[in-house]
Every structure is written in C-alpha cells, then in structure tokens.
A = this chain, B = another copy of it.
Amino acid sequence: MASPDTRTQLLDAAERLFAERGYRGTSVRAITDLAGANLAAVAYHFGSKAELLAAVARRVIEPINAAQCAGLDRLLARTPDPPVAELVAAFVGPMYDEMRAGDEGGARTSRLIVTILSDPAEEVRSWTGPAEDAVRDRYLEAFTRALPDLPPQELWFRIRGILAVTAVDRVEVHNRLAGLPPVAGEAAKQWAITFLAAAMSAPPTGT
C-alpha cells in the first residue's frame, strides 16, 4: 500500500469522471491520470474497467441502502403500518443525506447514479446485489399496506416515479435553461418529500 493508497485514489477519480462524462465517455487513461497512477493500475487493482465501475457503484450505493433499511426499521418499530408520507421520507431522505459527503451538494453523486441507471450497456448495470433488491421489496410491501386500494401495477409505477425524481433530480439538461441557481441540498430533499408524498397519496386512477 502506497501512502495515499492508489486503490482509493482510483476509486475517487473514477467516481468523479464517471459522473461527469459517463462510463463510456471516460477512458482508463483519464482515470489513472487524474489519480496520479499508472495506466496498468486499474487492471491490477480491479481487473478491468467494468469491475472498477462496479466497485465505485457499490461504494456509493451501500450507505444509501443501509440508511434506507435503518429508516424503515425505525418506522416499523413504532407502528406496523406507517403512513405514506413517512415511508416516502424514510426512502427518499437517505438518497439526499448520504450523497452529501464530499461532492458539490450531492450533484456529482446524483449524476453518477443517473449515468449508471440509464446506461444501456449490460456491464454498467450488473453491479446490483441482493441487498438492493431486499430493501426495495421491503418498501414495496410497506407501501402496499399503506395504500391497500392501489392496484399492484399502479403502485409499482409510482415506486419507479420516486426513483425517477430522486435520481434525475439534478441532471444538467433540466437545469440549463432555468435562470435559477442550482438547488441547495437540504431544500431539494424537503421539496422531493413534499412532491412525492403527495404523488404517492393520490387516489387510484380507476379504470
């Protein structure tokens, strides 16, 4: 292990560059240059560029997932049937809280997640483990009990709506044309909870 840990610096550089330019738009050479490492370091430490992305994704997603899980535990300890608004807050909150460490108000992490989720390449999306699925399934069940009249398909549509709003939140295209400054972290979190709690609580569409 070198002094500033080449492996960690590769992860940091890759996280930033993948977020800024996408997976395919980032060359291994650009990563190693930014990390101050040799070109072969990626292959040595991670095996391949795709496995480096998987490592980056895990490092970003894991704390969010853990916080989502803990938040649901806390809710369920209080009442077996938490209201919709609190479920939304417990699910959405960590996506804003956990991504605030290090980068510009979470904008970079947000972009990274969008990049990963929207990239059509199989290798880019193959990092998910059973942990991510388990958390989502637990929330799905909790929402099902909180919204008993909502058909399963429409509930699933709304869950994806939550993911869409939280992930796409800060993509630059949508910000470009507003003369407004970028959204502050804490305010965006509250806005998202307000927006999504109202959306989730809407009555079923019917027919």
Contact surface of A with B, Cβ cutoff 8 Å: 20-22, 24-25, 111, 114-115, 117-121, 125, 133, 136, 152-154, 156-158, 160-161, 163-165, 167-169, 171-175, 177-178, 180, 183, 187-188, 190-192, 194-199, 201-205, 207
Closest chain B residue to A178, Cβ basis? B156
Q: Find chain B residues with CB under 8 A from A188 CB.
A: 157
Contacts A157-B183, A163-B174, A174-B160 given; does A195 touch B191 at CB 8 Å: no
Closest chain B residue to A195, Cβ basis? B199
**Other-chain contact of A183, B115, B153, B172, B177 (Cβ < 8 Å):** B153
Closest chain B residue to A23, Cβ basis? B24
- Inter-chain CA distance A65–B97, complex, in Å, is 36
